[in-house]
Homo-oligomer: A and B are copies of this chain.
Amino acid sequence: MKELNPLLHSQLRLAVMSILMNVEEADFVYLKEKTESTAGNLSVQIDKLTTAGYIVVEKGFVGKKTRTVCQITDLGRAAFEEYVEALKDYLNL
């Protein structure tokens, strides 16, 4: 049985990646709402995905408010797809 990429095999990180697979970009607040996570947890998981090179984060401003925007990378996309393929074996799909 194939190994399941442990970086993706985590509910919150998988949720984030899943969202980012389907949109051009998403900001912190949006991800937090969609995943119903706490800010702290989300922050940590975003860090891990960034360190792995699976997403890129850009911090900017909207008016005077900070805005953290996330985007999936090619590497992240590939890892996600590989993870899905591996999981299929487990799920009998």
Contacts and interface: CB of A to CB of B under 8 A. Distances in A.
Interface of A: 1, 3-4, 6, 9, 11, 14-15, 18, 21-22, 34-36, 84, 87, 89-93
* Count of chain copies: 2
A11 B4 CA distance: 7
A15 B87 CA distance: 10
Q: Per DSSP, are chain A's interface residues mostly helix, strand or loop, or mixed? A: helix
A6 B14 CA distance: 13
Contact of A91 (B34, B36, B84): B84
Contact of A9 (B11, B21, B22, B93): B11
A73 to B, nearest CB: 18
A86 to B, nearest CB: 10
